[in-house]
Amino acid sequence: MKWTVSQLQKLRDSEVVIDRKIDITKDLMARNSEIRNASPIEIKGKIKVDSERVTFHLQLKGTLILPCARTLVDTEYPIDIFSTEVYSLSMNQILSDDVDDIVHEPENGVVDLLPVIEELILVDIPMQVFSQEALDKDAQSGKGWNVMTEDQFEAEKEKDKKVDPRLAGLATLLENEEE
């Protein structure tokens, strides 16, 4: 996914369609240890070249294998990312650009989309992923805790309010002291 500036300038005032699959699994796994595997990433979009800039309208689709936050089993996480990336072909464009968009600069006369694609995917990864099995089997209890309904919670509070009959005498003693 590399083009030289001269190759892109030959495509000036035209649109080029991108439809490729690339395998960047090793690169993604090297940059994020949570990624266990990835499918080849399908890249579709258009390249629009004018005299000052190159605009890439991209859609990235694929699947990442990430660990489930509860069970650590492999969990598929589908990605479907839309992005518009702009590369400037002249320094004047970068300096005078009043647009809020990030404008990339070709390195050594080469426009390389791979680092941008990797970054888009890495930024899209959520903090936690849950497998369907973990979602279906909600944890009901653990060491020192359990999940309960509001009715169960209210009943538990009422039970805690009832005073042990053996301590009822103490309760009246405390009430007398407060008066």
Give me the pLDDT at residue 118, please: 94
Residues 39, 32: Cα–Cα separation, whole Å: 15
Q: Tens digit of pLDDT for each residue in 98-138? A: 555 678 888 888 889 999 999 999 999 999 998 888 777 76
Residues 9, 37: Cα–Cα separation, whole Å: 37
Q: Tens digit of pLDDT for each residue in 139-168? A: 666 677 777 788 888 888 877 766 667 776
Residues 23, 165: Cα–Cα separation, whole Å: 72
Residues 162, 71: Cα–Cα separation, whole Å: 40
pTM flag (> 0.75): no
Instruction: Check if the beta carbon of residue 88 is closer than 8 Å to that of residue 31.
Output: no
- SS3 for 53? strand
End-to-end CA distance of the chain: 84
Structural domain boundaries of the chain? 2-134, 148-178
Q: Tens digit of pLDDT for each residue in 12-70? A: 888 889 999 999 999 999 999 999 999 999 999 999 988 888 899 999 999 999 999 88
Residues 131, 124: Cα–Cα separation, whole Å: 18
